[in-house]
Amino acid sequence: MDRLPTSSGTLVDILDRVLDKGLVVAGDIRISLANVELLTIRIRLLVCSVDKAEQIGLNWWKYDPHLTMPAGVARPVLTPAKPPARRARARVPNARRKA
């Protein structure tokens, strides 16, 4: 028995097509009780390549100061915060001396 060739592509082909053409998912979810709207969730999702996004006018990441910094400016180095228990232990000896 011969198998018929399928027209489904590989994952790479599907991703290439989605990123090239774009994919839009849109929908609304509304929860009401006795004709009183309690919650509305509006979902808008666009999946596409950066090139495609720029073609359709979406380039907000270029102007977001948190995502872009001028050339030559070093990014600040974040130091890890002390755990709350360590901060509390550091304050306790000082509180005992004051009492």
- β 23-33/36-47 pair status: antiparallel
Rounded Cα–Cα distance for residues 21 and 33 (Å): 40
pLDDT of residue 91: 63
**Cβ-based neighbour number of residue 70 at 10 Å:** 6
Q: Which residue has the higher pLDDT, 29 or 96?
A: 29
Q: pLDDT by residue (tens digit) across 14-61?
A: 888 888 888 888 899 999 999 899 999 999 888 888 888 888 888 887
Among 16-20, 41-45, 82-86, 95-99, the range with the most confident prediction by mean pLDDT is: 41-45
Q: What percent of the chain has pLDDT over 90?
A: 15
Report the predicted TM-score, pTM, of the whole model to 2 decimal places. Answer: 0.43
**What are the sequence ranges of the domains in the chain?**
8-70
